Amino acid sequence: MAGGSEPDSKEDNLLTSRNLLRSATASVPVAAAGIIHWPTVSWAQTGSKTFVLAHGSWHGGWCWMKVADRLRAKGHTVYTPSYTGMGERAHLLSRDITINTFAEDLVQLIQSEELSNVILVGHSFGGVPISGAADRVPEKIAHLVYLDSVLVESGRSAFSYYPPVEAEGRIKAAEKATNGVAVPVPQQLPSVWGLGKEGNPDYDWVRRRLSPHPLQTYTTALTLKGPVGNNLPRTYIHSTQPSHPCLRTRASSCGHGRDGGGSISRHLTIR
């Protein structure tokens, strides 16, 4: 663990949640499980909290539906935005969308809704724009949660951390399908998402809602004035069964304390 005491029991740390993983979409329920099972973390204390949940590649705000329902049932306020060009905003897809656009989407939501003390959660690729938002409006954010997230240092792109074969494959697919505007939805959903196979209700629900992902959000550099996380309280949640190949090295390094200049407050492992 880095920057915080270890949990009282191994069972608390290893939220054995493969069944939870399958009960909604692509690791999403783990976010709720982490919140519920960590009363020592400030954002899990009693009282109403404000959550902004940022989705990953090809998804939209819709993917948080079941998690948002659980949180709202407990009296919390929850926002599940879709980035420009994705989800219900897919009609806005253009070549001009960059990682700066996604970060600004989150900033504008927080500012327009006059939010404060936000618990900002980024799943998978969503870790990149939440870092951008934290750099711009740190005074509005109480805690960052990186859920199986990509951590990108200032001046680097998301694809600079991906395995070269993975990054090159997505670029070629975008060029073929959309003339380089967006990465098309995979024909078969990755097994690491934990959704089973075609015909499984969760698999089919996710597959029909996915939309192409703006390519330049992967290839443009994230620019930060401070370290990743901007010295805000933050937690990294790493699912290991299975572990996404794009995240293994980064999650491991987070657990040992450094993420581009800042330490992770707490590192939870999900098996």
Catalytic sites, residue numbers: 124
CA dist 36 → 64, 85, 127, 244 (Å): 16, 32, 21, 24
CA angle 69, 242, 68 (to 5 degrees): 10
Distance CA 233, CA 227 (A): 13
Rounded Cα gap, residues 31 and 53, in angstroms: 10
Instruction: Report how far residue 175's alpha carbon sits from residue 178's, in angstroms, rounded to the nearest whole number.
Output: 6
Q: What is d(CA 2, CA 234) in angstroms, rounded to the nearest whole number?
A: 11
- Sign for the pseudo-dihedral over CA of 94, 96, 102, 105: negative
The CA dihedral of 80, 62, 214, 141, to the nearest 10 degrees, is 10
Query: Which residues, including other chains, have CB under 8 Å from residue 86's CB and lie 6 or more apart?
Result: 55, 58, 59, 60, 93, 211, 213, 214
